[in-house]
Amino acid sequence: MRTGAAMNFLRRVVDHRRLRAGWQCRFRTLAVFLLVIPCGLLQAQSSGSDARAQARLNWMREHQPGMWNVAPSEGQWLQDEIVRTGAKRALEVGASNGYSGIWIALGLRETGGHLITLEIDSHRAQLAQQNFKAAGVSSLITLRLGDARKIIPQLQGPFDFVFIDAAKDQYVDYLQLAKPKVRVGGVIVAHNVTDLRSLVEDYIHAITTDPELTTTFVNAGPGGFSVSVKQK
């Protein structure tokens, strides 16, 4: 009798452990499911958002020519540079119709950042707002209409990333106004230092002789970029 009772007790213990193990397995499977599915949804949403932005960028190149935009390869470089540096606060001088701003915003979407873009022409500013909305990046961008030389002093720093692509004869002014608002380690990028070099020689001289900046040049497309990192 005692042997039979002991055997029954052991069977109940084994059955209980098997049942508990089965529930633990189910819980682990459910936990993995709950973690994986949201990640997949987020990736799908991100891919869909990027596709929407890319569709608008393609549309802009076809339907809004003559806006002095960066090349697609240069836009991709801007996006990658934002991500590479982990920039969260970005400033763009010269929004035009918003083409480069969309590329920058795509990078900022990954870093959790925001762009302030400046445009002096009301028609181009209106186009930019329309394009930001169509590209699905309006929430990532604040557009300020007016002369950048008057707006920049009003802005609160520090910025991680500054992109200059406006009136070439005013590049040095933009640099002098923006640099104090850039954090140490922050980046100042300027466009057209290759194809319009003769128009920005004074700017190139300023960034290559400034002891507070380390400057390199990147030919990601026909315009060319100067990339100045603030050292102190």
Distance, in Å, from the CA atom of 23 to the CA atom of 172, rounded to the nearest integer, reads: 68
C-beta separation of 231 from 213 below 8 A: yes
Q: How deeply is 218 buried, as exposed, middle or buried, from its count of CB atoms within 10 A (0-12, 13-18, 19+)?
A: middle
Q: Are residues 39 and 90 in the same domain?
A: no
Q: Which of 34, 63, 92 is the last residue of a domain?
A: 63
Q: What is the mean pLDDT of the chain?
A: 87
- What is the Cα Rg of the chain in Å? 27
- DSSP lists the bridge partners of residue 226 as 190, 217
Distance, in Å, from the CA atom of 139 to the CA atom of 129, rounded to the nearest integer, reads: 11
Distance, in Å, from the CA atom of 181 to the CA atom of 188, rounded to the nearest integer, reads: 11
Nearest Cα to 108, choosing from 144, 130, 132?
Answer: 132
Q: Are residues 51 and 98 in the same domain?
A: no
Give residue 16's pLDDT: 52
Give residue 31's pLDDT: 44
What total number of domains does the chain contain? Answer: 2
Nearest Cα to 69, choosing from 104, 108, 97, 105?
Answer: 97
How would DSSP label each residue in 95-155? -TTSHHHHHHHHHHHHHT-EEEEEES-HHHHHHHHHHHHHHT-GGGEEEEES-HHHHGGGS
C-beta separation of 8 from 16 below 8 A: no
C-beta separation of 104 from 90 below 8 A: yes
Q: Are residues 205 and 170 in the same domain?
A: yes
Q: At residue 14, does pLDDT exceed 60?
A: no
Could you report the per-residue pLDDT of 146-175, keeping only the tens digit for each?
999 999 999 999 999 999 999 999 999 999
Q: Which of 18, 42, 63 is the last residue of a domain?
A: 63
Q: Are residues 85 and 195 in the same domain?
A: yes
Q: Are residues 189 and 85 in the same domain?
A: yes
Q: Which of 63, 79, 109 is the last residue of a domain?
A: 63
Q: Which domain holds residue 48?
A: 1-63
Could you report the per-residue pLDDT of 68-124, keeping only the tens digit for each?
999 999 999 999 999 999 999 999 999 999 999 999 999 999 999 999 999 999 999
Comparing 109 with 38, the larger pLDDT belongs to: 109
Model confidence at 49, in pLDDT bands (50, 70, 90)? confident
Give residue 152's pLDDT: 98
